[in-house]
Each structure stands twice: as structure tokens, then as C-alpha cells.
Amino acid sequence: MRLDFDGTVTSPQGFQVGTATCGIKTSGNSDLMLLHSTHNCNTAGMFTTNQVVGAPVTLDRETLEVNSTTIRAIVANSGIANACTGKQGLKNAIAMQNLASKSLYCDPKQVLVLSTGVIGVQLPMEKIDKGISTAASNLNLEGGYAGAEAIMTTDTNPKLFAVEIKLPTGTVTIGGIAKGAGMVHPNMATMLACITTDAEVPVSILRKSLRTAVNKSFNRISIDGDTSTSDSVLIMANSASGISCAQGESRKAFTTALTCLATNLAKQIVKDGEGVNKFVTVHVSGAASIKAAHVVANSIATSPLVKTAFAGSDPNWGRILAAAGKSGIHFDLSETQLWIGSRIEDELQLVKKATSCDYDEDIAQQIFSQPEFYVHLDLGNGTSEISVWTGDLTEEYVRINSDYRT
């Protein structure tokens, strides 16, 4: 497996991206992307678990119910989420689908729609109409980076990645772009991800592989504990390589590579989180089950007290144990142990048997002052373990979100 840190959704064969500036974003930056495949695509998607969903989520779910085998395009806008916009919002999402299909000479049910941004605002459809025409006119095989920029909202960096899989029958590629900086929490986050592959993958397997990948990546990140209205991960497989990943080792290699790509994009989202200065891995071991470990890890990763301690470089381990304790998962406090570190060989044990160890406070503070470090809590209650990724909670996060609409 070869990793391409500059790869994007146009790295696999047969995919093009066009972009446009519609004037939705007050910054004047590009705000519309059109991702197009020259071949019909088997397609799968996973969406937000929030009960309040954007019109594009509703439309995409309905579209994939009737057509998951001949999808040709994704049209995405940023700046306005098209959520909580009533019947008119759904009409606007359908209009985006129709406009894109007209520009690409395909059926409307071959187009999926994504929107991200401010909730409760109607899309300026005249601007969207012109933007889609513009994007369709500049479709190109090198447009992936520009597409990643066009879907950004409060992101400061475009997020992109690609993986090349060498199989006995040949080479296939998986590419992806994503956006996300705030309202990021498992199941999923304010994030959009578009993933493409030139592999031949049946829809049933594509769905299973995507679910596995998302559960090990996007569902293990948290910035602020909020789940948004628009979260969507879509994968399009156009079979352009002519190489099947449907069975045996090829299928296993595809799922592994897809998980690698999704994990890389997920970590990029955390590192670019709103106001985030530190990337923190929270590892929980010694749990009775993976689910229990995940619940405890999320409780730590989303605790404002823990995250502000991260921001202040304060190794206040009492907050970490307290956050684990409020998770609702039963464990024996007297068996808990806690380590921190920036590297495995430099790890420092803070707690043993729920009691403070004789450690150097200055060294602990130095670890917490690093841009990347980890926290490892062992519950002493089983053999299951899991890692989740989060960041610190800073004054900058409050500033960004207090004037988001202004």
C-alpha cells in the first residue's frame, strides 16, 4: 500500500472536479464543487445520526435507496447548510440535483448533494445555478485540491489524501477529500467527506467496507461533542481500473486501505479543529468490551475540564479519572492506571491503583505542552482497548463560534 499525502478524489482513474465562486461565503473564496465520474459508480453513504438533518441528507438517503449503482456526480456547496429550511430547502436541494444533472447530461437520480455552513438560511439558487454551470465547464483531472478548498467553512487547511493498493491483478487507487473543524463528534461530525476509487466493488461490499472504515476513523474523533445536521461520508466506485476488490485478499486489502485513508482524513480534521492547538490521542485499555472502552474514551475526549487542562498544559489527572467515572461504564477505580507521553519510550505513569505515582510534575507539564501527546488510561477490567482523537479547548474556539454568523 502506497500513501499519497498530496492525493485527492481525482487520483483514481475517471474522476474530475470543477469548482466555482458563487458568492455564498463572505470571504469571497470558492464555495461550490462538482465531482464527476466518467463511468457509472456503485455508491455508498453514511450520514449524521442527529434527528435534525439538512435537506441534502434527506435527499441523498432517498436517492441511494432507488439508485446506488449508476451515480455519476456529487455537487457540494459551503457557507450555507440548507438545514432547518423546510419544504423550500428540500426543493432547493432537488434543484441542485437537477441543475447538476442538466450540466452533466445525466439523470437527476445520478447526482448526490452536499451542503455545509450556517443553519436556517435558504440557498441563493440563482447564484447556485450559475456556480454549477461554471463548475461543470471547468471539470478537470487535477481539480481535487481546489475541490477540497471549495468545501471548507471554518477550516484553515484543505484535507486530502490518497492510497494506492498493489494487488496481484494490478493497482487500484482510493482518494478522498474532507472538511470539518467544529461540531465534530462521533456519529459523525460537522464534516463532509467524498471518497472515490477506480476499483470494482459491489455495492453490498462497499457499504460494509465504508461502515468498517468510518467506525474506525470518523466515529473516533471529537472536537466539541456536537453532532451536526449535515455530516455525510460518500464513496463512489467507478470500476475504471477493471480490477475487482470483491473477494478474498483483494477485498481485505481494499477495506484496510479505505480505513487508512479515512483515518488520515479524520486526524486532519481534528488537527485543524476550531481553536485547536494540540492533537491528543486518548487510549483506553483494560475495558470489558470495545463499546465500553469507546464510551469511556469519548467521555474523556469531550470533557470541557479535561480539554481546558490540555490547553493549559496542566496534567490534572484527576479530571481524566473523573471524566471516565461519569461515563456510566462500571469499572473498579482501585485497578486504574494512567500514563501520558509524547512517545512510547518517554511515557510517564501518573496513577497506579488509583493513587498518584511519585512522578516529576515538570516532566508531566512538558508532555502536556507538546503539540501532540497521548493519554492512556487502563481500567483493569478486561482486555478490550480503543483510541480516539481529540484536541484542546481554547479561547479561540469560543471566539470562532461566538461570531460564526457575523
Q: In the prediction, which pLDDT does 221 show? A: 84
- Give the 3-state secondary structure of residue 153: coil
| Centroid of chain to Cα 132 | 25
Q: Mean pLDDT, to the nearest integer, of 280-297?
A: 96
Catalytic residue among 173, 190, 255, 336: 190
CA-closest candidate to residue 111, choices 58, 147, 76, 73: 73
CATH number for domain 279-402, candidates 3.30.300.350, 3.10.20.340, 3.50.50.60, 3.40.120.10: 3.10.20.340
User: Is 2-271 CATH 3.60.70.12?
Assistant: yes
Task: Give the Cβ contact number of residue 372 at 10 Å.
Answer: 11
Dihedral over alpha carbons 228, 72, 37, 139 (to 10 degrees): -80
**Where do you find CATH 3.10.20.340 in the chain?**
279-402
Q: Which residue has the cell 481485505?
A: 252
Sort strands 337-341 and 372-378 into parallel, antiparallel or unpaired: antiparallel
Determine the Cα–Cα distance for residues 324 and 330; give it in Å rounded to an integer.
10
Determine the Cα–Cα distance for residues 366 and 310; give it in Å rounded to an integer.
11
Exposure of 234 by Cβ count < 10 A (0-12 exposed, 13-18 middle, 19+ buried)? buried
Cell (9 digits) for 176: 478522498
Q: In the prediction, which pLDDT does 140 show? A: 96
Query: Are 40 and 299 a contacting pair, CB within 8 Å?
Result: no
**Where do you find CATH 3.60.70.12 in the chain?**
2-271
Q: In the prediction, which pLDDT does 395 show? A: 64
Determine the Cα–Cα distance for residues 206 and 340; give it in Å rounded to an integer.
38
For residue 23, pLDDT beyond 70: yes
Helix axes 290-301, 304-311, angle to 10 degrees: 60
Does the active-site annotation cover 190?
A: yes
Q: How confident is the model at residue 6 (pLDDT cuts 50, 70, 90)?
A: confident
Q: pLDDT for 183-229, tens place per residue?
A: 444 333 358 999 999 999 999 999 999 999 999 998 888 754 445 56
Query: Are 26 and 121 a contacting pair, CB within 8 Å?
Result: no
Q: pLDDT for 29-81, tens place per residue?
A: 999 999 999 999 999 999 987 777 889 999 999 999 999 999 999 999 999 99
Q: What is the pTM of this model?
A: 0.89
